[in-house]
Amino acid sequence: MAMASTAARIIVQVAERHAWTARKVKNPILRKQCRMVGRNLRGSEEWQQAMQPCLARLVRTLAEKTRLWEEVPVRRHPVVPILVRVCAYEKDWLRPPEEWQAPAGEDAPDVIIRSLLEHTFVRYEIPAFLYHAWLVRGDLQWRERDWFVRLARGASWRDLSGLPATISRRALHECRHAPAHLSIAQGLRWGQVMASGGSAALAHEVVTSRMAHDMTHDAWWSRLIGKFSAAGRHASRHYGMVSDMLVEMFDQERYEKAGRLLALPMSELCAHANGFWRDACASLAVHLPEWQQRDHRHPECRQQVSHLMRQHWHPLFPRSVQRPIRMRMGLLHWRELTNAAELIAEGRTMRHCVASRVHACLHGHSSVLIITIVHAGGEERLTMEICRKTRVIREVRGRYNRHPSDIAQHCLDQWAIAMGGMMA
């Protein structure tokens, strides 16, 4: 069959690893697609060399039967990454791609790629949301793609490796009708809600929550979904707040408390979750005043709270030694900062960039101290960064990145001596 466009011949040459000149390709979309194909075949790895004939076949098929390479921008649809993942499952092909016929009158890339996947892999009809397996980034051999291939050949859901056993048969039956735009994890959650008699409103809350993709704790999530389904439609608006609270508890391995909370009546469970997030916002507001106006019932607010709550580290110095030290020239107070919220607040108060040290503190490279020196001339506040490994002072800055005064520097020298073996 003749190719859909003479210009599209060049991408077949690229797929066959022939030399090509980018400036001679006038179509910018085609030029970028050629570069994408070439980038995946450029390496000398064994898997790249083995994939070349297979990828060349798929590229040629699309070039002959569609205008995909000339009309679909690289950023609009990940055509080449999907074809590379398809090549990784070449042994599971049921039909050769050369026998595929493009859907008539269709030029949407997602419709074309789905048609090619159906031709290549599908013997028995599968839920539409499973096609999202080919959009998942990561290793070429991926769990969700394994599920797709096995189900398309007629395997049972229960035969799938890695599928939580706590997902009921009825939920697996219901998920066949899940909306096509959902991911695989979201589709399974949607089926769980429908199987437990939950409302469409609850299904929306579940699939858009942070727990939707957590398959590790499915036994807990199944109980929670069943609890909210039994509570009726009015309770669904609280689901995100409760599930986000349990996500934090699982992250801290507080499984016993999570179990006690799930045993509570619905009203008490929702009240506890509301208090959990209200208190979390209040604790952040101590350092970041704008959090006093944040609404913890909003999912984005809870996600930001969670992000800041997780950015904490163990102190370098025990709390017991962080006490005032009286010196000849004044009194020195000091305190170590142990979370991101405190660093952000310190940076705002002192008008310098100490907040950028969050990454170094999280990875155990640095510790940050607040030093306040009270002397006859007044009060001076400093921010100090210390290397955790060598305990050497890296930097000391005052407000607006000013250097310490002579009096403050003298007090810091005395403080370092007083710390003895705790400082280099």
Statement to judge: residues 137 and 169 lie in one domain: no
Residue 7: the pLDDT is 63
- The order of strands in the sheet holding 325-327 is 325-327, 330-337, 366-375, 378-387, 393-397
Statement to judge: residues 326 and 302 lie in one domain: no
Residues of the domain holding 173: 164-310
Statement to judge: residues 204 and 155 lie in one domain: no
Q: What average pLDDT does the segment 206-227 reach?
A: 95
Share above pLDDT 90 across residues of the chain, in percent, rounded to a whole number: 64
Of 151-160, 169-178, 231-240, 285-294, the one with minimum mean pLDDT is 285-294
Nearest to 411 by CA among 384, 390, 389: 384
Q: 13-32: per-residue pLDDT in tens?
A: 888 888 888 888 888 999 99
CA distance 72 to 67: 8
Statement to judge: residues 141 and 216 lie in one domain: no
Global confidence as pTM: 0.80
The CA-based dihedral angle spanning residues 70, 71, 74, 78, taken in that order and rounded to the nearest 10 degrees: -100
Statement to judge: residues 404 and 335 lie in one domain: yes
Tokens of 404: 């310490």
User: Where among 277, 292, 310 does a domain terminate?
Assistant: 310
In sequence order, the 6+-apart residues with CB closer than 8 A to the CB of 181 are: 129
Statement to judge: residues 8 and 120 lie in one domain: yes
Q: How confident is the model at residue 1 (pLDDT cuts 50, 70, 90)?
A: very low
Statement to judge: residues 3 and 129 lie in one domain: yes
Statement to judge: residues 139 and 196 lie in one domain: no
CA distance 248 to 263: 18
Statement to judge: residues 150 and 181 lie in one domain: no
Q: Which DSSP string corresponds to 348-364? A: HHHTSSGGGGHHHHHTT
According to DSSP H, which parts of 42-78 are helical? 46-65, 68-71
User: Where among 110, 129, 161 does a domain terminate?
Assistant: 161
Q: What average pLDDT does the segment 321-349 reach?
A: 89
Q: 163-187: per-residue pLDDT in tens?
A: 999 999 999 999 999 999 999 999 9
Share above pLDDT 70 across residues of the chain, in percent, rounded to a whole number: 97
Q: How confident is the model at residue 2 (pLDDT cuts 50, 70, 90)?
A: very low
Q: 290-315: per-residue pLDDT in tens?
A: 888 889 999 999 999 998 888 889 99
User: Where among 129, 161, 193 does a domain terminate?
Assistant: 161
Q: Please check the confidence at residue 8 and state whether its pLDDT lies above 80.
A: no
Asked if 59 and 11 count as a contact pair (C-beta separation under 8 A), the reply is yes
Q: 68-117: per-residue pLDDT in tens?
A: 898 999 888 999 999 999 999 999 999 999 999 999 887 899 999 999 99
Residue 3: the pLDDT is 47
Cβ contacts of 389-396, under 8 Å, gap ≥ 24: 389/365, 390/424, 391/316, 391/422, 391/423, 391/424, 392/424, 393/423, 394/366, 396/371
Q: Please check the confidence at residue 5 and state whether its pLDDT lies above 80.
A: no
Residue 374: the pLDDT is 92
Q: 365-414: per-residue pLDDT in tens?
A: 999 999 999 988 789 999 999 999 999 999 999 999 999 999 999 999 88
Residue 111: the pLDDT is 94
Statement to judge: residues 215 and 363 lie in one domain: no
Statement to judge: residues 150 and 15 lie in one domain: yes
* Count of domains forming the chain: 3
Statement to judge: residues 172 and 295 lie in one domain: yes
